[in-house]
Each structure stands twice: as C-alpha cells, then as structure tokens.
C-alpha cells in the first residue's frame, strides 16, 4: 500500500516525512473492503473522540437493513475507507508525476483528514434526516450535512485541543465542501486537483463514491463489477485537473451506472422508502417533545443525535411520545405504509416536472365513497440519475490519449457506444397509503391524477386485490 505512517502529532506545511516508515508500527484496523487500514497518530486524535465514535451509531444506509438484512454497516467504517482511499489516490498521483505536481506530505495528510471527516456532520438514518425530516420542520432552511461537517471539524479541534494549524483546517473544510459551492470558485487555486479527490464537484468521480459503491453492494449481497482500482492506477493530472485514459470511459460509465442501480434497487426501494417515511413521521411527532431540531445548528448538541433516537422513542413511557411510539411499533410489526402504485414521468416532461403532493392525489378523487384526507396519503418523488442530473456525466470528464499526452479532451456523445443510454435521469412518482383499508381508494385517485396530468395511465403495477379488500 502507498500510505505512510507519521509519528508527528501536528500538521505543518514545512514538515517533511522521512523517506520510509515501517507500517508495522502504525495502529491499523482490518476493513472488509480494503484490508488493513493504517492510522497515523494525528488521525487517531480525531477518531478517538465521542464526536467521531458517534458514526458507529449511524447506519450508512439508514433503514435499508429492514429490507436488506446485511446493510448494517456504519458511517464509521465508510469514513475510514474514504480516508484510506484519499491517501492512496494522493500517493499514486505523487508517484506517477512526482516533479510536476509538487505534492508534499502536508498535501497528503490534508486530503486524508478531509476523507476521514467528510461525513462527520451526517444526521440519524443517513439522508432520511436531511431530505425527509428537516425540510418539514425547518422550512426554507439550507441545512446540509456538508455544512454541519465543517462546523463539527471546528468543534472537535476546539473541544479536544488538537494541535493543528489553521491553514490545514481551512483546506480540509474546503475539500469537504468541494462538491457544492466551492466547486466553481477554486478553478485557479494551486493544486486544485487535490480538492477533487474526496468530494468532486467538477465531474463526480471521487473516492467517496469508490468506497460506498463497493461497500454498499457487498453489504446488500449484490454483485459489483465496477473496479475503482483501474481508475486509480491510470489517472493523471493535466491542467490542474485529474484526467483519465480515453480507453477507460466504459469503466467510468460503469461507476455511474452502478451507483444508479444502487439507487433504484436499494436506496429508493419501495419498501425501504415506506419505512423511511414512517420514521420521518415518527421524528416529526416526537420533535417538539424531544427538541430534535434544537440540536441541528449547534455541534456541541448535534453529536448527541444518532440512530438510537428510535429506541428512545420506542421505550420512553411519556404520553407525549405515544403517536411516535405507535409508528415505531408498526414498523417492528411490519404494519407498514402500503405501496399503492408508481409511474415514471414521461421523458419529455422531466425538465418541467413539479413534485407531486398528497393534495394533488386527493384532489383527483372522484366523488362518492370514502373521502380522503391529506394525512392519509404519502407521495415519494424519486429522482434517479447518473450523478449529473439530466446530463451525461461523461461530458464533464476530461480524458487523455496516452501517458505521453499533454492534451486533455472530452468525449462527445457520438463517439460513445450506442448501447449507452440517451436519457440520464428517471423521475418516479410513488404513492403510499398510511391505512391499509384505503389502498384501493388512493390507487384509483392516483390513476385519475395520471389521466388528468398526462392523458395516460402509465402505472407499472396493478393494485393487488387483497390490498383493495383489506379492512
């Protein structure tokens, strides 16, 4: 492995690592994806804190383990994996282009620390907390786990008196935010390519994806034929940007296609979403009493939030938590929100698509019979893409012909296999019933909504008769 061990407990731009270190004298953990991961003492200063150890109690895939029993891996092991791959990527670039890039020990340690801490700001139940719960209680808020990660970095350094220079912390925080607002503001920054290793806002290829795609696939028992090692061995920097061999474009496409498959089959699985919607509702009902949202702006409080909040709700005797507790009990007994049906938004309508709401469905109900209420219906608007929205991700990637080349270029669509997709985003509208006896009524209203909106009935499932008859 390329990573080296550093016994110095502080980061310094002027520090030069000895030419060789014996990895046997580093602390190491054995990871089921990457093998031995070696930890320098400075990184242990961050790992051995209650804020980082909290990641052990955050499942990487939220509630997916309720459908895929093996998906119980945590943000902790993912963060160690990204730390390791970030160091490997930086070392390989340094080895391949030692003189022209000027990568030093300080650069490598900074990239590794960004990889280690990039997910430190995640809330309970993975993206459910950020995308399903918070938008309903913090209307108009721009809260994101990346921004919270930046706050948590400062908090850990201050709280635990970690000796680390301010320039390192500044760069680490910028690398964590590199997939968002910083992506377009550093184009002239020295060694800009280093900021693309952990969270790549320029083209979406980063070691964060390398780790979670392989790790999630393995945990869920799914095959994964994407080999990130090939890309790490052959990448090189041209014009301050990490570029890839033109002959590897299909490997890169496989990266994005595998990610999309995981979204379709795991992350947005219809039953996984049903359970997540129930957990979100439970958090909403418990929010006032547990003051959950009071934790989300202050790092000294935020680190106390993790997946164990579901057990707190489930076991607390407080009457104020009864509604939330009943929802958790329903999940335990597999009395889930019932999937009614779904349809894929026609390709020509995706650009101007507006999220469908429960109000849209109940307004499409024909008169007579049971009168639906908004609280009876849940709508999930699912977006699945290749990481660049409606655009081909390969358009943002720069390639080179061979290792002697100094020219980088894009590969246009007409030069790519005609077997690859011509559309890069799916929009799927799913509707759930909170009460089993309303499945048939809600399904009919959903059909009416489609006919009214698109003039067609494009559902892919027939509503099961047993659900229609259920009382």
Give the Cα separation of 92 and 98 in Å (integer). 9
Which residues neighbour 345 within 8 Å (Cβ) at sequence distance 6 or greater?
353, 426, 427, 428, 429
Phi, psi of 413, rounded to the nearest 5 degrees? -55, -40
Here the tokens at position 457 are 């009935």
Here the tokens at position 133 are 């719960």
CB-based contacts of 97-104 (< 8 A; 24+ apart in sequence): 97/236, 97/237, 100/237, 101/191, 101/193, 101/237, 102/191, 103/191, 103/194, 104/13, 104/16
SS3 content of the chain, % helix, strand, coil (to 5): 50, 10, 40
Is 34 considered catalytic here? no
Catalytic residue among 34, 145, 155, 253: 145
Here the tokens at position 227 are 């080999």
- Among 161, 129, 160, residue whose Cα is nearest residue 144: 129
Half-sphere exposure of 41 (CA within 13 A, CB side): 10
List the helix and strand counts (H, then E) for the chain.
19, 8
Which residues neighbour 153 within 8 Å (Cβ) at sequence distance 6 or greater?
117, 120, 169, 172, 173, 176
Phi, psi of 175, rounded to the nearest 5 degrees? -65, -35
Residues annotated as catalytic (active site), given as ranges: 145
């Amino acid at each position: 492995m390329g990573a080296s061990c550093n016994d110095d407990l502080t980061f310094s731009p002027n520090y030069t690592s000895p030419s060789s270190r014996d990895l046997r004298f580093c602390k190491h953990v054995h990871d089921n994806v990457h093998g031995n991961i070696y930890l320098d003492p400075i990184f242990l200063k961050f790992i051995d804190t209650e804020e980082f150890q909290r990641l052990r109690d955050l499942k990487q895939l939220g509630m997916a383990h309720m459908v895929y029993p093996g998906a119980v891996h945590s943000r902790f092991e993912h963060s160690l994996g990204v730390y390791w791959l970030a160091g490997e990527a930086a070392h390989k670039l340094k080895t391949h282009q030692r003189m022209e890039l000027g990568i030093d020990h300080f650069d490598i340690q900074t990239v590794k620390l960004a990889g280690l801490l990039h997910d430190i700001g995640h809330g309970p139940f993975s993206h459910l907390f950020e995308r399903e719960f918070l938008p309903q209680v913090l209307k108009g808020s721009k809260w994101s786990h990346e921004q919270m990660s930046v706050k948590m970095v400062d908090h850990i350094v201050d709280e635990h008196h970690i000796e680390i220079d301010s320039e390192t912390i500044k760069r680490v925080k910028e690398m964590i935010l590199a997939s968002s607002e910083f992506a377009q503001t550093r184009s002239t920054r020295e060694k800009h390519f280093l900021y693309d290793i952990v969270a790549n806002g320029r083209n979406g290829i980063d070691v964060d994806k390398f780790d979670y795609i392989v790790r999630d696939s393995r945990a869920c028992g799914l095959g994964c034929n994407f080999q990130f090692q090939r890309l790490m061995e052959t990448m090189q920097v041209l014009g301050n940007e990490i570029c890839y061999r033109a002959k590897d474009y299909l490997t890169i496409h496989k990266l994005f296609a595998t990610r999309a498959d995981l979204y379709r089959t795991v992350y947005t699985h219809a039953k996984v979403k049903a359970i997540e919607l129930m957990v979100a509702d439970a958090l909403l009902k418990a929010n006032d009493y547990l003051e959950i949202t009071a934790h989300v702006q202050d790092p000294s409080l935020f680190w106390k939030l993790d997946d164990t909040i579901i057990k707190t709700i489930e076991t607390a005797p407080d009457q104020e938590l009864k509604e939330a507790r009943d929802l958790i009990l329903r999940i335990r007994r597999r009395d889930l929100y019932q999937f009614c049906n779904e349809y894929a938004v026609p390709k020509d309508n995706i650009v101007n698509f507006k999220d469908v709401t429960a109000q849209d469905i109940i307004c499409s109900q024909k008169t007579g019979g049971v009168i639906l209420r908004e609280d009876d219906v849940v709508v999930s608007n699912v977006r699945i893409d290749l990481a660049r929205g409606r655009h081909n991700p390969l358009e943002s990637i720069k390639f080179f012909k061979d290792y002697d080349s100094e020219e980088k270029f894009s590969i246009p669509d007409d030069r790519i296999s005609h077997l690859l997709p011509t559309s890069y985003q799916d929009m799927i509208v799913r509707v759930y019933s909170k009460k089993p006896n309303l499945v048939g009524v809600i399904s009919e209203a959903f059909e009416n909504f489609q006919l009214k909106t698109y003039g067609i009935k494009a559902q892919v499932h027939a509503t099961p008769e047993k659900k229609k008859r259920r009382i």
